[in-house]
Amino acid sequence: MTIATEAPERVGPPSKAARPHPIRDLLIKRSLIGILTLVLVSILVFAATQTLPGNAASAVLLNTATPQRLHALEVQLGLNRPAVDQYWTWLTGVLHGNFGKSLANGQPVGTLIGGRILNSLALVVLAGAIGTLIGVGLGVLAAARRDSAFDHVLSVTSLGVTALPEFVVAVVLIIFFAAVVVHWFPAVSVFVPGTAPWSNPKELVLPVATLVIVVVPYVFRMMRASMIDALESDYVQMARLKGVPKWRVLLFHALPNAIAPTIQVIGLTFLYLAGGVVVVEYMFNYPGLGQALVSAVSDRDIPQIQAIVLVLAAFYIAVNILTDVIALAVSPRRRLPRS
């Protein structure tokens, strides 16, 4: 039913432009599909919450759930209404920009998760940016000195680190830098509620470091491989023969061509980070979206679950579109129509 109302929009605007504009077309098409995806996700998530045992009322009351108390709270929260009815109320609310109130504590979902979105975003963006820079940098260096001791050590180390899950990395960092060896950084990230993540820089260090350590190997290995390909190509040989300085060859001839496949990996890295923060937030007690999602699920707090899942899904969609756009922008030949 809801899907049908979206359907006409899916057709998209008529292609009045004579010249194809691949980036704009891609943006429009993918955004529309993205919105449809969000609606489908919200239906799926809502359906999934209905199949979970218990509801928000029993989650709140726990062992004080007498039938009278349970009934009173269900009526108060509107949980006694049919599921479709509940979903419809929620959806119309969202279309009016109202994400509803938390079933667990009655506060507006927007205020509950607004700050957390910012906190998680700070983690993801910082870890993604730092991890990308380090990964790309090390990848270029390793490729330039292929088969050197430097290259071997890096490759083996990155393989080893890949095998470590986030929680192991986090525990090791905590032991060394927070709890046991030295007390340089806090072992858990406690923000005063309402303060921005950048006003708590010390609290960010270990969570970001954990994520950086986890993502660098992927970017590094992809960058190294595609850089080696590029360095072996004819135009790089040509440039070298012409006597172009080595750093110029590396940065201006090889790197632009090697970066396109790496951008996809960087995109994947950001997507991975959006999920990976859940574990890291849990380990460091970091007040982000992942931690909120875990507790919202155990509280059966449907409006909060929905809002968080939609934010995460929207992030996935946006990053996917963005990586495709960037990949198109940096490789002109892919913009030409395929023959």
Partner 1 sequence: MTFSRREFLKAGLAGSLAVGAGGLLSACGTGNTIKAFTTSTAGKPRTGGQLRAGLTGGSTADTLSPLNAITNVDFSRINNLYEPLVGLTPEAQPVNVLAEELTHNANATEWTVRVRQGVTFHNGKTLSADDVIYTFQQILNPKAPAAAAAGLASIDAKGMTKLDAYTVRIPCSTPFATLGQALAIPGYSDIIPVGFSPTAPVGTGPFKVKSFSPGTQSTFVRYDGYWQSGMPYLDEIVITDYADQTSQVNSLLAGQVDAVNLLSEDVISEVQGESKNVLLSPGGGWNPFTMRVDTGTFSDVRIRQAMRLVVDRQQMLDLVFGGFGTLGNDLFGIWAPEYDHSLPQRHQDIDQAKSLLKAAGAEGLHVTLVTSDIAQGTVLAAQVFAQQASEAGVSVSVDDVTVNEFYGTNYLKWQFAQDYWFYNFYLPQVSLATLPSSPFNETHWNNPRYNSLYAQAIATSDDALRTEIAHEMQQIEYAEGGYIIPFFPPVIDGFGANVGGLVPSKIGLSLNAYDFKGVWLS
Q: Is 107 in the site for partner 1 (CB under 8 A)?
A: yes
Q: Quick one: which segment of 67-75, 155-163, 226-234, 250-258 binds partner 1 (CB under 8 A)?
A: 67-75
Q: Is 59 in the site for partner 1 (CB under 8 A)?
A: yes
Q: How far is the CB of 94 from partner 1 (least distance, A)?
A: 20
**Size, binding site for partner 1 by CB under 8 A:** 50
Q: How far is the CB of 203 from partner 1 (least distance, A)?
A: 10
Long-range contacts of 229-234 (CB under 8 A, 24+ apart): 229/258, 230/254, 230/255, 230/257, 230/258, 231/143, 231/144, 231/146, 233/257
Q: Is 112 in the site for partner 1 (CB under 8 A)?
A: yes
Partners of 108 in the β-ladder: 101
Q: In the 8-state DSSP scheme, what is residue 183?
A: -
Sites for partner 1 among residues 142-181 (CB under 8 A) = 174, 178-180
Identify the residue whose tokens are 């479709």: 84
Contact 264, 302 (CB under 8 A): no
Q: In the 8-state DSSP scheme, what is residue 97?
A: T
Q: Which residue type does 199 have?
A: S
Cβ proximity to partner 1: between 8 and 67 the closer is: 67
Q: Is 45 in the site for partner 1 (CB under 8 A)?
A: no
Q: Is 233 in the site for partner 1 (CB under 8 A)?
A: no
Q: Is 52 in the site for partner 1 (CB under 8 A)?
A: yes
Q: Which are the contacts of 299, defined by CB distance < 8 A and separation ≥ 6?
A: 56, 59, 60, 103, 104
Sites for partner 1 among residues 300-339 (CB under 8 A) = 300-301, 304
Q: Is 104 in the site for partner 1 (CB under 8 A)?
A: yes
Q: How far is the CB of 267 from partner 1 (least distance, A)?
A: 30
- Structure token pair of residue 117: 């979105």
Q: How far is the CB of 238 from partner 1 (least distance, A)?
A: 56
Cβ proximity to partner 1: between 101 and 221 the closer is: 101
Q: Is 291 in the site for partner 1 (CB under 8 A)?
A: yes
Single residue of 2, 50, 76, 89 touching partner 1 by CB under 8 A = 76
Single residue of 25, 27, 69, 155 touching partner 1 by CB under 8 A = 69
Q: Which residue type does 107 have?
A: Q
Q: Is 60 in the site for partner 1 (CB under 8 A)?
A: yes
Distance between CA atoms of residues 146 and 25, nearest Å: 41
User: What is the separation of C-alpha 338 from the centre of its chain, rounded to a whole number of angstroms?
Assistant: 31
Q: How far is the CB of 56 from partner 1 (least distance, A)?
A: 8
Identify the residue whose tokens are 């950086």: 212
- Structure token pair of residue 333: 């030949």
Q: Quick one: which segment of 105-113, 150-158, 238-246, 316-324 binds partner 1 (CB under 8 A)?
A: 105-113
Contact 59, 304 (CB under 8 A): no
Sign of dihedral through CA atoms 51, 53, 55, 59? Answer: negative
- Structure token pair of residue 51: 């199949």
Q: Is 201 in the site for partner 1 (CB under 8 A)?
A: no
Identify the residue whose tokens are 């990848």: 139
Sites for partner 1 among residues 174-193 (CB under 8 A) = 174, 178-180, 183, 186-188, 190, 192-193
Q: Is 197 in the site for partner 1 (CB under 8 A)?
A: no
Q: In the 8-state DSSP scheme, what is residue 181?
A: S
Single residue of 121, 282, 318, 328 touching partner 1 by CB under 8 A = 282
Q: How many angstroms separate the first and last alpha carbons of the chain?
A: 39
Q: Quick one: which segment of 66-74, 247-255, 269-277, 306-314 binds partner 1 (CB under 8 A)?
A: 66-74
Q: Which residue type does 320 have?
A: N
Report which of 63, 64, 100 is spatially closest to residue 79, judged by C-alpha positions: 100
Binding site for partner 1 (CB under 8 A): 52-55, 58-69, 72-73, 76, 102, 104-105, 107, 112, 174, 178-180, 183, 186-188, 190, 192-193, 282-285, 287, 291-292, 294-296, 298-301, 304
